[in-house]
Amino acid sequence: MSFLAIEWNPSIGIDLGFFTIRWYSLMFVAAFLLGLRLMKKIYIEDKIPVEKLDTIFMYVFISMLIGMRLGDVFFYSWDYYQDHLLEIILPFKEVNGSWKFTGFTGFASHGAAIAIPIAMYFYAKKHLQKPWLFILDRLAIMVALAGFFIRTGNFMNSEIYGKPTGSNFGVIFKAAEETVPRHPTQLYEAFSYLALFFVMWYLYWKTNKKQQIGYLFGLFMVVLWSLRFVIEFLKEPQVQQRGEEWVFSPLNTGQVLSIPLIIIGLWLMFRKKKRKI
């Protein structure tokens, strides 16, 4: 009955015999390498020493990992981690009384949305001597591109997929032992973020929007989190719903967390006093 659906069952990565390079990890590396290359062009355009790229890489990488990890712990999985505090900082899980290496298995983008801007505040103050929003305007372009790679990695992993389409169209995620066509919400997000990247890249190079501090970052916040809000309606819940006590029902956790980020973005875009550089 699902002859029009795509059966998706890729390998977990590139098997080198002694080591397997996982697709998700490969997507992460691709995002950072391409992001650094494009960010170098922006630094040259803004007459910023390219030597400062190594520093921003470390700030972004560390804050992103910490933020995404803590975001999953506190926004999505606190019911579990409140009884397993060591597993927050250790890549092990306790299984039947013994510890098993699993790596860090939970990440949430909303955590990164908080941690990276905080890190950029200190980076801009210490290394650029420029306004905080100056670097956020430029970094947001690269983050939109990174979102494309990360969601592609989620698709390769057959995770964070959507609800059943209720038709013969969709993707059957065989690796997740699914038997019905589902919305490939990872790809919906991935290509939406890629489109956002191209729009912001155009605005930076072809318009004067980069002169309006906070505008590009505000646009990024509004569009990305609005897209996330809408696409969440098609996703399978990532956490158990709280039932009647969930005051925001029928919105899920991801949608609720997106609302304040959208509001911040709108304020940055349309505030009356826009400082120019």
> pLDDT means per 10 residues in the chain (277 residues)?
74 75 85 93 94 90 88 80 73 66 68 91 91 95 95 91 92 90 96 98 96 96 96 80 51 87 95 63
Residue 105 near residue 84, CB atoms below 8 Å: no
Q: What is the DSSP letter of 16?
A: -
**DSSP H/E element including 258:** helix 253-270
Q: Name the residue ranges covered by the structural domains of the chain.
A: 6-270
Measured between alpha carbons, how far is residue 162 from residues 173, 189, 235 in Å?
A: 10, 11, 4
Q: What is the pLDDT of residue 197?
A: 98
Asked if 197 and 39 count as a contact pair (C-beta separation under 8 A), the reply is: no
Closest listed residue to residue 37, CA positions, set 21, 55, 50: 50
Per-residue confidence (pLDDT) for residue 216, from 0 to 100: 97
Run of H or E including 29: helix 23-45
Q: What pLDDT score does 208 carry?
A: 94
Q: CA nearest 231: which of 144, 151, 133, 167?
A: 151
Query: Do the Cβ atoms of 196 and 216 come closer than 8 Å?
Result: no
pTM: 0.84
Q: Is the dihedral of CA 62, 66, 72, 75 positive or negative?
A: negative
pLDDT confidence of residue 244: 38
Q: CA 211 to CA 273: how far, in whole Å?
A: 13
Can you say whether the dihedral through the CA atoms of 186, 187, 192, 194 is positive or negative?
A: positive
What angle do the packed helices 253-270 and 109-123 form, to 10 degrees?
40
Only one residue has tokens 């080591």, namely 19
64 residue type, one letter: M
Q: What is the pLDDT of residue 100?
A: 63
